[in-house]
Structure 1
Amino acid sequence: MSSAHITFDTTGDKIARRVRKMRSSAVRDLFAAATRDDVISLSGGMPAVSLLPVEDVRAATLAAVESPEARAVSLQYGPTNGAPGLRAVLADMMRDLGIRVKPDQILVTTGAQEALSLIAEAFIDPGDIIITEGPTYLGALQAFSAFEPDVRAIPFDDEGMRMDLLEEELKRIGKGNPRLKYCYVIPNFQNPGGVTMVAERRRRLLELAREYDFMVVEDDPYGRLRYDGGHQVPLKAMDENVIYLGTISKMLGPGLRTGWIAAPESVLARINLVKQGADLCGSSFDQIIVEHYFKDIPWQKTLQKFVAVYKERRDTMLAALEEFFPPEATWTHPEGGMFLWITLPDYMDTDSMLAEALEAGVTYVPGNSFFPDGKTGRNSMRVNFSFETPESITEAIRRLAKVIEDRLELYRVFIEAGALPGYDRKEAAMTDEKTPTPWEEVVADSEQNEEAVMQAREGNAEQIDIAEEAVRDAQQAAAPAEEAAE
């Protein structure tokens, strides 16, 4: 007799409206696939914790439990705003970045992810307006979405969020609009874009915040992971009213769930109330380990090791992209951090292409995961270079390039045949091979084109035959004109 049984979900009509609208994290969904031995993962944002000196981790951990006095603190409930010793250590560390805060202006959180949720719960009512970069960190979108805001995504370029586009959006929102709550930015080596906001735009963002009366939330998980260029002054160092988020996950390890919020005390008082209802207090054990690691151990040496290794891996990925990727693709060149952003022609769909990439043994995160509507950015992807070895990174990019090239071959047939509306073959032929084509002018209806090519991929040979015949007809029609020109 079979032991199989069917379980029915009887809670469907009881689920909160806001939860029904929440989307699962694409990175979380990819974790299972990424653990396969034959898959190289470029999808996660995992630091290379294997670089941590074992003795340093052991010493910090023993300090939390080796005496009765230590155990009485590390294994007990703690203050909601975090261990006093750790808050003092974090205040000292922030001075290295030019930020001056008192320990009482810091609240310790269970990772920076909890900080995002606490801020959202403290300040967002349904329908409130939140501004982000577009694309932005998908974990932030998840944290915000639970409270049903109206998220406005502002595009960035190589110098960070476009202030001209932000100002246009703010004019539409209007000055003094009580629904406008805050602007969330990752100014250093942005996730997922890898770009850094230049000083001029940082100053302008703060000016606009004062003019239009909104808060600025500065998320800085990667600020110390700089490989090129000079230090950029944090927004928090430029304006004490900025709400600053930090984490030890990229300097020590994400397994010790420890982040923090540095903000005016009036703001922290609100967030403290929310945290009491969320988890009462964070892990005292984790906090004491972190305190001893950053107080008693020369952690800067290990950080420099991370920087050197990650720089090599970033350089390896950039070199592999240059070697293997087609000329239709472009990508960012991050000065630090863990990620870069790849953009393909508008008619490509990295979401549907992911299954083929997994079959080829490589993962990435589709670009639409980083936009509030879940649709924009389907022709883009985020790739991580911090975790895999240089050899694995090169192989992963080679595999990914092959997947992309296979799709592009089909699209090129349609382009040559004039089957993609809005695309001028002759104009495209005149552009330099290394110059990115203005793809926004290429496709009039990307969904229609995607459907046509997917039909071809699924074995509709007739579609290919029609396209190839159209190409031959076009070539024959053009031949007399070419001979006359000669």
Structure 2
Amino acid sequence: MVSRIGEQIEISPVELASQKAKKTRINLASGSPDPSTIPVKEIEETYNEVLEDLGAKALSYPGAGGQEELIEEIEKYLSPLGILDKNDRIVVTSGAQHAMELLGKYFLEGDTIAVENPTFIETFNALKLRSSVVLPIDLDENGIKVDELKELIKVVKISLLYIIPNCHNPAGVNLSETRRKELVELASENDFYIIEDDPYRPIACNLPKPIKYFDKDGRVIYVGSFSKVLAPGLRIGFSVLRGEIAEKISLIEQLDFSTSTINQYVVSRLLKKGLIQSRTEELAKHYSRKMKVLRDSLLDKGFQNFNNPSCGFFLLLNLGVDSWKAFNEAINAGLSFVPAKPFFLRGGETMARLSVAISNEDQIKEGVDILSSIKKKIIQ
């Protein structure tokens, strides 16, 4: 016998595309940051500093909920956002994905939850596998359709809303400030929590205030990460929660001791040096340039049906043909992307998620050329 989770869990399209990408020339699948932007030298120097200063202490077991030194630096880092009050605590996790796993364990046991349609399948799975019913709420250019959510919660009680408000994965949109305020009001009035997944803020500029900024009742749980601005392999993320919830999440986190002690000290010092804070504008421009290349290339090849991403790595393209069939053809032609049907709870059969994270500008152009040839081949 195995558990329900053991029976239901399966490989995500992101992981599948990433595995296939290892054998292709052009990677328009990955959500990992551009290797050329990872500050390897600074990270190496900081590892050496930590080991010289702390010795064996840096290699000991981590404490529950995160090292105090790192928590203090994250508090300073978050201060300009105005999302911390006296009742909130920070819990350090092994990346944002780990935070989702812990939150799912704490909040859900066969509950009903709501998510954007589409949503990021890998993070969402940690919540879906512990839920009995998942309700999709459509997006438009201003983010989740709050009016649709209002109608739904008139007839269905939900426990959680999972949302990616900035540089949405895979849709690329930013949630409007008006809708952020409305969501907080709805959560308070209808007794549900909002998980605000915000990993792309460190690589984007001119974003609205976090949903958490408008939260006065502790209904919003803010989840952040340093994976996109530093390096995903460091596996350092965090969540901001009410004290009583944070205490329990810390204890659940301690069950697996998965958040590396030395990596916490390294990220703490990188924050203290200002390295992370200083990279936002540079990285935002870097990915914006590559996204423009992708958009222009798609238009040049006659693709019209795609979103105009506000920021981040991802563009959602309607190929007009079955995306899994196109994916298999693309792999044979040396291109990897992510078929986006699994990101949708309804629809999405012809949708593809294209990423500008890994590939350079020439590779992006060539990848679009390959997609165009594949579409013509399938239609014929």
TM-score grouping bracket, smaller chain normalisation: over 0.9
Deviation digits for residues 153-201 of structure 1 (CA, Å, limit 9, x no counterpart) = 101000000111111211120xxx4xx2110100001111101100111
- Partners of 2:148 and 2:309 lie apart in 1 by 22
Q: What does residue 92 of structure 1 align with? A: 76
Aligned to 1:389: 360
Residue 313 (structure 2) aligns with: 338
Task: Specify the code of the residue in structure 1 equivalent to 2:273.
Answer: D
The 8 Å contact of residues 69 and 268 in structure 2, kept in 1 or not, is answered as yes
- How far, CA to CA, are the matches of 2:330 and 2:283 in structure 1? 28
Q: Which residue of 2 aligns with 1:431?
A: none
Aligned to 2:325: 352
Unaligned runs of 5+ in 1: 1-13, 411-486
Is residue 2:171 matched to residue 1:171? Answer: no
> Which secondary structure state, in structure 2, belongs to the residue aligned with residue 113 of structure 1?
helix
* TM-score with structure 1 setting the length: 0.74
Q: Which amino acid aligns with 1:119?
A: L
Q: CA RMSD, aligned part only?
A: 1.8
Q: In the alignment, which of 270, 274, 283 is matched to residue 293 of structure 1?
A: 270
For the pair 1:267 / 2:240, whether they are aligned, the reply is: no
The answer for the alignment partner of 2:207 in structure 1 is 231
Corresponding residue of 1:19: 6
Letter in 2 for 1:381: A
Q: For structure 1, which segment, 50-59 or 104-113, has the greater mean C-alpha deviation from structure 2 after superposition?
A: 50-59
Asked whether the 8 Å contact 2:63–2:254 carries over to 1, the reply is no
Amino acid at match of 1:168: E
Identify the residue that residue 317 of structure 1 maps to in structure 2: 294
CA distance in 2, matches of 1:358, 1:114: 30
Q: CA deviation at 1:102?
A: 6.2
1:57 and 2:57 are equivalent in the alignment = no
Question: Structure 1 residues 106 and 96, CA, compared in 2 at 3 Å: closer, same or farther?
Answer: same
Q: What are the residue-to-residue correspondences of 1:20-419 with 2, within 5 Å?
A: 20-36=7-23, 38-67=24-53, 70-101=54-85, 105-126=89-110, 128-173=111-156, 177=157, 180-226=158-204, 230-240=206-216, 241=218, 242-277=220-255, 279-280=256-257, 282-326=259-303, 329-345=304-320, 348-372=321-345, 376-408=347-379, 410=380
> Following the alignment from structure 2 to structure 1, what is the Cα–Cα distance between the partners of residues 224 and 124?
18
C-alpha distance in structure 2 between counterparts of 1:40 and 1:212, whole Å: 46
CA distance in 2, matches of 1:103, 1:206: 17
Q: Provide the secondary structure at the position in 2 that maps to 1:246.
A: strand
Greater Cα shift, 302-311 or 206-215 = 302-311
Q: Distance in 1 between matches of 2:146 and 2:70?
A: 36
Moved segments of 4+, more than 4 Å: 101-104
Larger radius of gyration: 1
CA distance in structure 1 between the partners assigned to 2:189 and 2:277 by the alignment: 39
CA distance in 1, matches of 2:376, 2:180: 39
Verify the 8 A CA contact 2:166 2:207 in the aligned structure 1: no
- How many Å separate the matches in 2 of 1:106 and 1:148? 25
SS of the residue corresponding to residue 255 of structure 1 reads helix
1:379 Cα deviation from its structure 2 partner: 1.4
1:391 shift after superposition: 0.7
Aligned equivalents of 1:54 and 1:193: distance in 2? 30
Q: How far apart, in 2, do the equivalents of 1:168 and 1:55 lie?
A: 52
> CA offset at residue 332 of structure 1?
1.1
Partner SS for 2:32: coil
Q: Which secondary structure does the structure 1 equivalent of 2:232 belong to?
A: coil
Aligned partners of 1:56 and 1:297 also within 8 Å: no
SS in 1 for 2:316: strand
- Which structure has more relative contact order (CA 8 Å, sep 6+)? It is 2
CA separation of 1:31/1:187 partners in 2, compared to 1, >3 Å: closer, same or farther? same
Shift of 1:26: 1.2
Deviations 1:235-280 (A, max 9, x none): 1111152100000001110010110010111111221232222x13
- CA deviation vs aligned residue, 1:312-342 (integer Å, no higher than 9, x gap): 101111110110134xx41111121111111
Residues in 1 aligned to 2:77 and 2:302: alpha-carbon distance in whole angstroms: 41
- Corresponding residue SS for 2:311: coil
Secondary structure, aligned partner of 1:30: helix
1:22/1:145 contact within 8 Å kept = no
Task: Give me the whole-angstrom Cα distance separating, in 2, the residues matched to 1:57 and 1:276.
Answer: 26
Structure with more of its chain in strand, by fraction: 2
1: CA distance, partners of 2:52 / 2:278: 25
CA contact (8 A) 2:203 2:279 kept: no
* Whole-Å separation in 2 of the counterparts to 1:304 and 1:202: 24
- Kept after mapping to 2: 8 A contact 1:87/1:103: no
Q: Distance in 1 between matches of 2:150 and 2:45?
A: 50
Q: Identity of paired residues, percent?
A: 30
TM-score normalised by length of structure 2: 0.94
CA distance in 2, matches of 1:54, 1:222: 20
For residues 12-55 of structure 1, the C-alpha deviation after alignment (integer angstroms, 9 at most, x for no partner) is xx22222211221111112232112x431111101013223443
Give aligned pairs, total. Answer: 378
Q: Give the 3-state SS of the residue equivalent to 1:129 in structure 2.
A: strand
Letter in 2 for 1:393: I
Q: Distance in 1 between matches of 2:276 and 2:186?
A: 37
3-state SS of the aligned residue for 2:239? strand
Measure, in 2, the Cα distance between the counterparts of 1:282 and 1:80.
Answer: 9
SS of the counterpart of 2:115?
strand
C-alpha distance in 2 between matches for 1:102 and 1:336: 32
Pair 1:53–1:280, CA change in 2 (3 A) = closer
**Does the residue aligned with 1:96 lie in a helix, a strand or coil?**
helix
- Separation (CA, whole Å) in 1 of partners of 2:365 and 2:341: 25
